[in-house]
Amino acid sequence: MNQTSPDRSLKFLIAIVALMAIAVGAFIGWTRYDAHRNAVQLEAVRNQTQLADQAKLDHERLKEWPNQPPGPLPKLEPLPLNLFPIPATRDPEALMRHLIARHPSPKIHQQLLSLLNSGGMSIDLFNADRKVVGQFRTVDPRAAPTAKPDANGRIRVFGLNRNRLASMVSERDVLVMETFVYHEWLHYEQYFLATLNKNAAELETFIGDEVGQYSPESCEYFWKHEHDAWRDTCLFAIQIGVVDYFDRLCLWVGDETAFKQARFNYTPDHTVTPGHPECIPVNAKLAGHPHPEVFQ
């Protein structure tokens, strides 16, 4: 018996509906699968982010190295002082020369004063907005054409902050400035010895403004220069009664290991070598940090 046209139409309609149902089911299934896949991927990204954040946190925690409690200070004989009265003038160069001429250290009131008077050392009274109090450095002769080059063809420069000089009002202010004068003189002595030894890597540390990046060897010398100069500066500060001014560092001078740690922590970013972050891993190792590799 032949099927009528309505029967065929009904079957065709049923087939279409079935196909649509299959398609809708497939679409719902794919949508659910896609949503699940996205959720899994999102969870994976979230986990990776959490792991990265935790790794970063662990990395920063490894950098933490709190100073040890300060120990007793060395017992030293006070130095005789012949600084006062301070001239009434506010002229920075006159005040600087007074500090040098009356400095408790014979090497400074004899040798440094002689170098300044003979032109063997230039004076730099640098701008008041600089946080640095003192600085010994060398410059290219073209920067100071009237000065005398030394054996390295450099101009030796002894600088103090003019604002700090002009703002001295108390005996304590004067003694603190004398401590900075002493510190910079120690750097001059280091430069003088490096010149005698003809050590290029060591001499490089005295021309930091002209060096793009320090070698690891120069970083080591810079650390040694600052460590030795600050150790002796702290001892000097004890002898003239202003060690408390440098309490963030000098309170640890009685213990070499603790002092290295305090020197490393002296600045928040550990840049013992200003403007040269490449030296931080070297500084960390020399200071004895338990995880110097985290500063790479």
- Residue 150's contacts (CB-CB under 8 Å, 6 or more residues apart) are 120, 138, 156, 195
Burial class (CB in 10 A: 0-12, 13-18, 19+), 21: exposed
**Looking at residue 260, what is its pLDDT?**
95
Mean pLDDT of the residues in the chain: 86
Q: Is 247 helix (H, G, I), strand (E, B) or coil?
A: coil
Can you tell me the distance from the alpha carbon of 177 to that of 84, in angstroms, rounded to the nearest whole number?
13
Q: Which of 228, 232, 225, 231 has the alpha carbon at shortest distance from 202?
A: 225
- Average pLDDT of the segment spanning 34-41: 73
**Looking at residue 52, what is its pLDDT?**
47
DSSP string, 139-170: E-GGGSTTSPP-TTS-EEEEEEEHHHHHT--S
Structure tokens at 90: 């506010």
Q: Which helix (H) or strand (E) holds 260?
A: helix 256-264
Structure tokens at 81: 């002082």
- Residue 114's contacts (CB-CB under 8 Å, 6 or more residues apart) are 120
**Looking at residue 129, what is its pLDDT?**
67
- Residue 219's contacts (CB-CB under 8 Å, 6 or more residues apart) are 273, 276, 278, 279, 282, 283
| Strands 155-161 and 122-126, sheet pairing | parallel
Spatial contact of 214 and 278, defined as CB atoms under 8 Å apart? yes
- What number of CA atoms fall less than 13 Å from residue 294's CA on the CB side? 15
Can you tell me the distance from the alpha carbon of 189 to that of 23, in angstroms, rounded to the nearest whole number?
88
Predicted TM-score (pTM) of the model is 0.80
Can you tell me the distance from the alpha carbon of 191 to that of 89, in angstroms, rounded to the nearest whole number?
32
Per residue in 149-164, pLDDT tens?
999 999 999 999 999 9
Q: Which of 184, 211, 188, 191 has the alpha carbon at shortest distance from 274?
A: 211
- Average pLDDT of the segment spanning 60-72: 88
Spatial contact of 250 and 238, defined as CB atoms under 8 Å apart? yes
- Average pLDDT of the segment spanning 185-209: 90
Exposed e or buried b for every residue in 233-253, given b needs 16+ CB within 10 A? bbbbbbbbebbeebeebbbbb
Q: Which residues pair with 158 in a beta bridge?
A: 123, 136
Range with the lowest mean pLDDT among 55-64, 114-123, 257-266? 55-64
**Looking at residue 57, what is its pLDDT?**
53
**Looking at residue 154, what is its pLDDT?**
93
